[in-house]
Amino acid sequence: MSGVDSSYAWWRLVASVTLSTVGGIGMWCLVVALPSVQQDLGVSRADISFAYTLNTLGFFVGGVVMGKLVDKRGIVITAVLSAIGLSVGFAVAPAATSLPLFATAQILIGFSGAATFAPLVADVSHWFEKRRGMAVAIAASGNYLAGTIWPPIIEFLIRDHGWRAAYWMAAAICLLVMVPLAFVLRRPPPLQHAADGSAGVAAHSPRSLGLSPNALQAVLIVAGIGCCVAMSMPQVHIVAYCADLGYGVARGAEMLSLMLGFGIISRIASGWIADRVGGIKTLLLGSTLQCVALVFYLIDDSLNSLYVASALFGLFQGGIVPSYAIIVREYFPPKEAGFRVGLAVSSTLVGMALGGWMGGVLFDMTGSYRAAFLNGIAWNLLNGVVAWWLLFRQNRRNVYA
């Protein structure tokens, strides 16, 4: 069988996760390389954090553009273009002797890497109906699996060969591995543009929440920015934070890997929950737990406490981003999935970009990360308010239905 919920659909999901894991190096490489690049280029923490911001802004634009391309041309051409762009970006970045060129290369890396996240999630969503929440969560876990695997490898390469050699190796890996994987996904999704039929049709419409389609999309964008300004603080700065505390870059890379490893567990669990309670309630649960985890970073900065906080943060927050894709598939037609999921999920990268930069600025202003963590908690509360508001509108619809 090769249709919806078939054995082929699950094998295709495995291939998608693998592709996402390889392409995810575009997001996580700079996080580990941040202290080395900062020292080599002789720039401030805010300046190098701005390079990360450009990477994630490129990821945002790429998620929207590549998502639209998936709707029109399918996932194969999108993934091949991603592999080529990542390879070029990783090859150009080591040639930089100043921040502007390095930052420009980060835009290309982010734009190209975006195809291995939201567009892949949208593609996977067409192949599942009964277990769509679980499948979407697993597909989104490729990004976190990348964050689990790549940081220790990149840290080792930088320690032994320097950050420039590590980037060149990343360029070769993306080109040699991603292109063959892309062609594994050449079969077109079933009922991708169906107007009816059981598979892939949205369960509701934005009007059922009392919102227009664009209004619901805008609300999801605001929620995505809020949650990921908060999320960016540990994910972007944990390596530099550990280096500043004297624990070393390697300990920070281990914490990042631990955080994202537990995030995989969280994402899969959130998919199971979403299949039972829906995307909005899953979003609210994840938002609440993430806020709790951020508080743990403020309690104690000893080495063991940071390991515990990182594990809890990963375990609590992994289900937030997949929730947006699930909400889109619940309230929008399948023919818009690539664009709508791309816009909703990629908006979280605007939050990562803003939060990563703000963390660096607040560190430069105060000499510590305490203010940055408090800033993250405030943005997390914004996300929670949005989730509560959507749940209120959903419950009101159910009462008067």
Q: Would residue 2 be called left, alpha or beta, if left means φ above 0 and alpha means ψ between -120 and 50 degrees?
A: alpha
Question: For residues 282 and 329, is the Cβ–Cβ distance under 8 A?
Answer: no
Question: For residues 90 and 167, is the Cβ–Cβ distance under 8 A?
Answer: yes
Q: Is 230 exposed, middle or buried (CB count within 10 Å of its CB: 0-12, 13-18, 19+)?
A: buried
Closest CA to 118 of 327, 338, 269, 274: 338
Question: For residues 350 and 118, is the Cβ–Cβ distance under 8 A?
Answer: no
* Residue 1 pLDDT greater than 80, yes or no: no
Tokens (6 digits) for 181: 């994987």
Report the amino acid identity of residue 385.
Answer: V
Average pLDDT over residues 298-320: 89
Give the whole-angstrom CA distance, residue 81 versus residue 308.
39
- What tens digit of pLDDT does each residue of 333-384 get? 877 877 888 888 888 878 887 888 888 889 888 888 889 999 999 999 999 9
DSSP string of 325-369, one letter each residue: HHHHHHHS-GGGHHHHHHHHHHHHHHHHHHHHHHHHHHHHHHSSS
Q: 193 Cβ partners below 8 Å, 6+ apart?
A: 334, 335
Closest CA to 189 of 78, 328, 64: 78
* Residue 391 pLDDT greater than 50, yes or no: yes
DSSP secondary structure code for residue 188 in this structure: P
The CA-CA-CA angle for residues 233, 237, 240, to 5°, reads 160
- What tens digit of pLDDT does each residue of 45-63 get? 778 878 888 888 888 888 8
Q: The whole model's pTM is what?
A: 0.76
Q: Is residue 53 part of a domain?
A: yes
The CA-CA-CA angle for residues 315, 302, 147, to 5°, reads 35
Q: Is residue 3 part of a domain?
A: no
DSSP secondary structure code for residue 42 in this structure: T
Tokens (6 digits) for 287: 């938002």
Number of domains in the chain: 1
Q: What sign has the CA pseudo-torsion 352, 139, 147, 86? A: negative
Predicted pLDDT of residue 104: 92
Percent of the chain with pLDDT over 70: 95
Question: Alpha carbon 363 to chain centroid distance?
Answer: 24
Integer CA distances (angstroms), 304 to 85, 247, 310, 311, 376, in order: 39, 11, 10, 11, 22
Q: Is residue 6 part of a domain?
A: no
Q: 238 Cβ partners below 8 Å, 6+ apart?
A: 252, 255, 256, 259, 306, 310
- What tens digit of pLDDT does each residue of 11-38 get? 999 999 999 999 989 888 888 888 888 8
- What tens digit of pLDDT does each residue of 179-205 get? 999 998 988 777 544 444 444 456 677
Helix (H, G, I), strand (E, B) or coil at 378: helix
DSSP secondary structure code for residue 211 in this structure: -
The residue whose two tokens read 């944990």 is: 238
HEC profile of 278-336? CHHHHHHHHHHHHHHHHHHHHHCCCHHHHHHHHHHHHHHHCCHHHHHHHHHHHHCCHHH
Count other Cβ atoms within 10 Å, centred on residue 160: 9
Average pLDDT value over all residues in the chain:
86
Q: Is 70 exposed, middle or buried (CB count within 10 Å of its CB: 0-12, 13-18, 19+)?
A: buried
399 pLDDT band (50/70/90 cuts)? low
For the domain that residue 34 is a member of, what is the CATH number?
1.20.1250.20
Q: 155 Cβ partners below 8 Å, 6+ apart?
A: 32, 249, 250, 253
Q: Residue 296 is part of which domain span?
A: 14-188+199-396
Predicted pLDDT of residue 397: 67
Tokens (6 digits) for 216: 């619901």
Q: Is residue 193 part of a domain?
A: no
Q: Is residue 175 part of a domain?
A: yes
Predicted pLDDT of residue 197: 42
Q: Is residue 157 part of a domain?
A: yes
Q: Is residue 156 part of a domain?
A: yes
Tokens (6 digits) for 51: 């390079």
Percent of the chain with pLDDT over 90: 34
Q: Is residue 211 part of a domain?
A: yes
- Residue 93 has φ and ψ, to the nearest 5°, of -55, -40
